[in-house]
Amino acid sequence: MTKRKDETGGTPEPGAGPPADAPERYVLRLYVTGMTPRSTQAFAAIKALCEEHLQGCYDLEVIDIYQHPQLAKDEQIIAVPTLVKKLPTPLRRLIGDLSDTEKVLLGLDLRRKT
């Protein structure tokens, strides 16, 4: 995998701000190691989750640490795959293949612990 950015949603009209009831924009980075099964599984899981729960309200950047080791170092990534939620705050890190949807939703603050 190479570094790529997947931006969803339309382009806002020039000069138009977001509507008052617009959901927060999520900025996510997924750090992976090439095309390994865990990396591709993590990407598929987070992509599906974002499309279901954050449709049009997220930016997902996939970073292959083999191709961009400095980005992983700067972000202090010690295990992969790792998903970093940059926005909205607080910053969160989720490690693993992201297959446990409930834990990922909790980690992204999309579900409240009951």
**Which of 7, 38, 28 has the alpha carbon at shortest distance from 108?**
28
Write out pLDDT tens, residues 33-91: 999 999 999 999 999 999 999 999 999 999 999 999 999 999 999 999 999 999 999 99
- Rounded mean pLDDT of 90-113? 92
> What is the value of pTM for the model shown?
0.79
Element (H, E) at 17: none
- List the domains of the chain with CATH numbers: 24-107 (3.40.30.10)
Write out pLDDT tens, residues 32-48: 999 999 999 999 999 99
Strands 58-64, 26-32: pairing is: parallel
